[in-house]
């Protein structure tokens, strides 16, 4: 009778990363695996387990990272902004799709083909940017005034189409959950009787993990 499978017997291959910090995000698409660690995003070819490319956003520590390989986009959050990259091009600054500025370290990120949503721990707001143009669409308050001089922080975020949920804590109220749904939000446009959505609803796109 054959012995039970072990970790070593099921391992197809391995690779070593020369990074200055632990991996914080990983995404597989087709034959490539993208890993954000330290100040770099490394692409590993799963067929050879060798490095295919390395993206180093200004040699600054990456605090958050979201990847959309099917659209050739990677968004990295650093100490004062998020950088949106087209990974088909070189890693020089001029080949970023956009620089998305922040009032604090960008630790919360969401990326889809239509929008980038980002937040900082002490900002109390999330910023919504258009993926294709890098234009700021809106700033959304995700906090309520904290009484008695307490301070609130934002530590987690989830985005689903027009819905945004943020979670955090305050010294006076403990853990907090803030939910907003912008499905029916709209603004008038130039043509009378016509409206457009402020945000993008859920749309189908394929970007498997």
For residue 203, being part of any structural domain is answered with: no
Name the pTM for this structure: 0.75
Sign of CA dihedral 133, 138, 162, 152: positive
State the Cα–Cα distance between residues 163 and 116, nearest whole angstrom.
Answer: 13
For residue 207, being part of any structural domain is answered with: no
For residue 10, being part of any structural domain is answered with: no
Assign 93 a pLDDT band (cuts: 50, 70, 90).
very low
**CATH number, domain containing residue 184:** 2.130.10.10
State residue 202's pLDDT score: 44
For residue 12, being part of any structural domain is answered with: no
Domain count, the chain: 1
> 80-94, 134-148, 191-205 — which is least confidently predicted?
191-205
Assign 78 a pLDDT band (cuts: 50, 70, 90).
very high
User: Could you tell me the residue range of the domain that residue 99 belongs to?
Assistant: 18-197
Do 188 and 198 contact (CB within 8 A), yes or no? Answer: no
- pLDDT above 90 for 66: yes
- What mean pLDDT do residues 97-121 have? 89
| DSSP secondary structure code for residue 63 in this structure | -
Do 187 and 198 contact (CB within 8 A), yes or no? Answer: yes
- pLDDT above 80 for 149: no
For residue 52, being part of any structural domain is answered with: yes
Do 182 and 142 contact (CB within 8 A), yes or no? Answer: no
In order of 12, 26, 164, the CA distances from 200 in angstroms are 40, 25, 12
State residue 77's pLDDT score: 93
% of the chain at pLDDT higher than 70: 72
Do 113 and 205 contact (CB within 8 A), yes or no? Answer: yes
% of the chain at pLDDT higher than 90: 24
Q: What is the pLDDT of residues 178-206, one digit of tens each?
A: 888 877 665 544 555 554 555 544 445 55
State residue 207's pLDDT score: 57
For residue 202, being part of any structural domain is answered with: no
Residues comprising the chain, all counted: 209
Residue with tokens 């939910």: 179
For residue 73, being part of any structural domain is answered with: yes
For residue 82, being part of any structural domain is answered with: yes
- pLDDT above 80 for 208: no
């Amino acid at each position: 009778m054959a012995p039970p499978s072990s970790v070593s017997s099921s391992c197809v291959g391995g690779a070593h990363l020369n990074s200055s910090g632990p991996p914080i995000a990983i995404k597989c698409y087709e034959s490539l695996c993208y890993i954000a660690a330290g100040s770099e995003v490394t692409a590993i070819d799963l067929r050879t387990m060798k490095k295919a490319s390395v993206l180093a956003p200004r040699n600054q520590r990456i605090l958050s990272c979201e990847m959309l390989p099917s659209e050739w986009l990677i968004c990295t959050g650093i100490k004062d902004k998020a950088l949106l990259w087209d990974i088909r091009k070189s890693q020089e600054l001029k080949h970023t799709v956009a620089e998305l500025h922040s009032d604090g370290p960008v630790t919360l990120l969401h990326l889809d083909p239509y929008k980038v949503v980002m937040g900082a721990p002490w900002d109390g707001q999330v910023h919504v940017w258009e993926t294709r143009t890098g234009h700021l669409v809106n700033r959304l308050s995700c906090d309520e005034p904290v009484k008695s001089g307490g301070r609130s922080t934002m530590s987690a975020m989830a985005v689903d189409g027009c819905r945004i949920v943020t979670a955090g804590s305050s010294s006076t109220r403990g853990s907090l959950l803030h939910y907003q749904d912008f499905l029916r939000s709209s603004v008038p446009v130039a043509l009378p009787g016509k409206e457009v959505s402020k945000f993008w609803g859920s749309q189908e796109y394929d970007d498997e993990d």
